[in-house]
A and B are shown apart, each in its own frame.
Chain A
């Protein structure tokens, strides 16, 4: 397993860009052994998969968010990032980064960050 840590602003204004970074330790963001994911959880609600990046460039996004989401990797900093634009109040949630080993199956997140609350409000 790898260790993950989210960072970024806790407050974002509506119509602006929600940007978060996940720092990875104990593993490589540039290799092909892990899918790097973002997952969110609105207050008091369930989990929602946002998307992943794999092997430094291949991405897949939740169809409901696809038009507003970008996930990228900075291999020099061992980080991957989430951009969501434009942000709305409905994007208020705890955001988790999670690692999924490259295997025969999907949605097997064996490593999680502690989560960071992002509030979208003016």
Chain B
């Protein structure tokens, strides 16, 4: 059971927009930055979003991040078949059990 809650799967057609949610608490998302990762089949995760809404160099602006309270959202517009992957949110847990935490992951299917 992950500390951060993501939907197991989402789907949308090519060219459409999709959002993936990540729900936490005041001890993690509520007081720390959120990052997002894309994991293509058989590959290592890749950083998509850091500090809630910033994109590393080379990440297209089709990917966006936002946060409100204890929840964060990854948005992907202009869906492509190559976006089909697992997506993970991550943040720091600041409670007595302090450490890095990830969401359970969301499988994106581009129909």
Contact = CB atoms under 8 A, between A and B. Distances in A.
Interface in B82-111: 88, 90-92, 97-105
Contact of B45 (A48, A61, A104, A112): A112
A107 B90 contact: yes
Contacts of A48: 102
B17 interface: no
Contacts of A37: 100
B63 interface: no
Given A46-B88, A110-B56, A115-B44, A105 B100 contact: no
A46 B35 contact: no
Given A106-B91, A107-B90, A107-B92, A47 B102 contact: yes
Q: In which size bucket is the chain A interface? A: 20 to 34
Interface of A: 37, 46-49, 51, 60-64, 96, 103-110, 112-115
Given A63-B97, A63-B98, A114-B44, A46 B103 contact: yes
Nearest to A63: B97
B interface, over-half SS = strand
A47 B2 CA distance: 10
A62 B103 contact: no
B110 to A, nearest CB: 21
30 contacts: A46-B102, A46-B103, A46-B104, A47-B45, A47-B88, A47-B90, A49-B90, A49-B99, A51-B99, A60-B98, A60-B99, A62-B100, A105-B32, A105-B33, A105-B35, A105-B92, A106-B33, A107-B35, A107-B90, A107-B92, A107-B100, A107-B101, A108-B35, A109-B45, A109-B47, A110-B50, A112-B45, A112-B46, A114-B44, A115-B44
A110 B47 CA distance: 6
What is the interface of chain A mostly: helix, strand, loop, or mixed? loop
Interface residues of B, number: 25
A64 B37 CA distance: 23
Interface string B11-37: 000000000000000000000110101
